[in-house]
Structure 1
Amino acid sequence: MRAIADTLSARFNPVAVRGEISGFSRAASGHCYFSLKDDTGQVRCALFRRSAEQLSFAPRDGQVVEAQGKLDVYGPRGDLQLIVDSLKPAGQGALFEEFLRLKARLEAEGLFDAARKRALPPQPRSIGVVTSLGAAALRDVITALRRRVPHLPVVVYPAAVQGAQAPAELCAALQTAYRRHEQTGESAVLLLVRGGGSLEDLWSFNDETLVRTVARAPMPVVCGVGHETDFTLADFVADLRAPTPTAAAELCAPTREARLGELAYLGERLAEAAYGAIDQRAQRLDRLAQRLGRPSGRLHDNHQRLMGLQHRLQRGLLLAAQRQQNRLQSLQTALPLALRRAQEQHSARLQRLDAALGLLDPHLVLERGYAFLTDAQGLAITRVAQTRAGQALRATLSDGELGLTVNL
């Protein structure tokens, strides 16, 4: 068997194999065992702990990968196996290069700057979650939030998290959350989450439009996509990156014990402030008591002060009464003169009004040779058009009236 293994090693190694993972298992020692298969066959593989710790993803059954390693023969069973040195999802190289190019461009624009990052609200009034309704990540987030902050409302904005339609749906869900936040204050903090997967599975969270949409968020955004070793561009642009969806929920929802600890600390500070204020008041009271001295002496001083105020009040009242009496005498002297002047002014005004009224007397006009004509009904005749032949009229002169007949 050793000779066969040496021959294989000399003839083929190292080798690169592309296939679908089948029967993946991880032993307690950290070693991983699985098979790689395609349409023509399969080969057993062993990925030892040191190499397994270097993986950037979590291998799973059905995943197509590219493995590099050495062919060997497992002596006890005589099986051909591949000792895997490195393992990556198929096609990861091209995707990863695209990831790095887009990351460098967005980073140059400042979208990942630390100065843009906002602190999470210490006590949010509601929490929003953008993810798929069927995702395990949603169940993990809801479980964590119910355990830590059962009193807070949780709003879910559903969207696909994998597939060609995922970026557009994620952007639409984010825009909905932004609009509601600006209109009603809904979702003081927003969680963008999904479970782990390959680079292809998580590629929706590297979409440029999605990254720019996250950058425009009016509220802090926590990104919890994949596992601890998974990184997406959404992680870099978010205000805070969480290693898992559960960790994202825990970051924005401090435990009940932490809140109680804060309240206890604030209670201690309040008690200290209250005791300090009481001590200050007590010291001030002691100083006032010292200044007060014996009550009898204080009462004597107050009595003397009261007598002085009473004397000043009496003098003030006498002076005020005297001033009022003098003013009253002056008014009594001036009143007849003022009445006489007012009467003269009113008499002169009446004379002027009587003269003006006399000028308006119609009899003065009649005395100058004019007559006032009226018809049988007593209506004034002012125009020829008001008369007719044979009509009886009455003329008023300065010394009497005449009957007239119209003769046209």
Structure 2
Amino acid sequence: MDTPLSLFDLNALVKRALSECLPDEYWVQAELSDVRSNATGHCYLEFIQKDARGNNLIAKARGTIWSNVYRLLKPYFEEATGQLFTSGIKVLVKVTVDFHELYGYSLTVYDIDPTYTLGDMARRRREILKQLEDEGVLALNKELDMPVLPQRIAVISSPTAAGYGDFCHQLQNNTQGFFFYTELFPAIMQGTQVEKSILQALDRINGRIDEFDVVVIIRGGGATSDLSGFETYLLAAACAQFPLPVITGIGHERDDTVIDSVAHTRVKTPTAAAEYLINRVEEASEHLYGLSEQLKDAVVARLEREKERLNMLRNSIPSLAFLRISEAKMRLLTVNKDLSQSVKSLLIRQKHHLELLSQRINDASPERLLKRGYSITLKDGKTVTNANQLKEGDLISTRLAGGEVFSVINDQIMNK
């Protein structure tokens, strides 16, 4: 049996073997994880690699960036990429392979290539935009109609940001004196909390959607590296599908973020966002002024036409009146003639009718009946129509065509 080695001896042997087998510096592609620095300025992190299909870890290594390198490497990387040197990004770093008897295997970083990360960021941005396009939401916010008077403004910004103050000052002191109502929905505009913070602000605005015309997301100056928080799918999807037009002015002229690409309108700075809104209201004001001038001109023209029409009507009144009076006179003459004829015809018909009634009355008169041989019996001046009306001793008169006969009723005759 060989002489056993202590753990330290074994680790020292591994260290010598690695040093002999891997003596050079190597460019390594990996994703950053658990990036942290201490008071001494050293940076400790993990490099990881994930399975492209399952997103599972397939490799991991500890990494170290000593302070003398880190204080140069970090600002260089962030300035070049506009991306924080933080967990979750992919990097191309130059490393040496080290092994320490106590701390084990690790990679020591000496350099970094920002162009690799820029390429990965551009790829991720393309992937986000492609995903939004495939989902049919990429241009939804751009397709919204910008209100004619965007005066009720929901602002997403840090309350202490100079850009927010510049924005409000520009609106409130516009030379045209237009009124704007702004309400701040505070959010963190840099660091790892950007996405969550802005999404929460959008949710609060959405709960009061009828109170606002537009949403403005603004951020003052600052490091280009602070833009990384605006490069996420969730934030881009929320802005793309937001029911109000979104205006972005996050303070960088040369860099477009993902939310700039999906927003309704992208401007360079918070001040430019204010100017855009002022110009929109000014355009509406000029349009209204133009319409008022058109209305005034149209009214004047209409009044002139009506004046001419009234003059023409006034001049035509005498001839029209004479014509109307002549027509009325002719109608009266015609009516008078027709009325006379109608009255005459009516009188003739009524006269004939009266003659017929007179003949019928004459035919039914008592004198005519008496001449035919009839008689009328009267008692006390009243006509007797039934024998029961008489009793013995009654004096009656019988009227004939040629005189009147008086009689006394006796019982014998009654019995008969």
**TM-score of the superposed pair, with normalisation by structure 2:** 0.49
Larger radius of gyration: 2
**TM-score of the superposed pair, with normalisation by structure 1:** 0.50
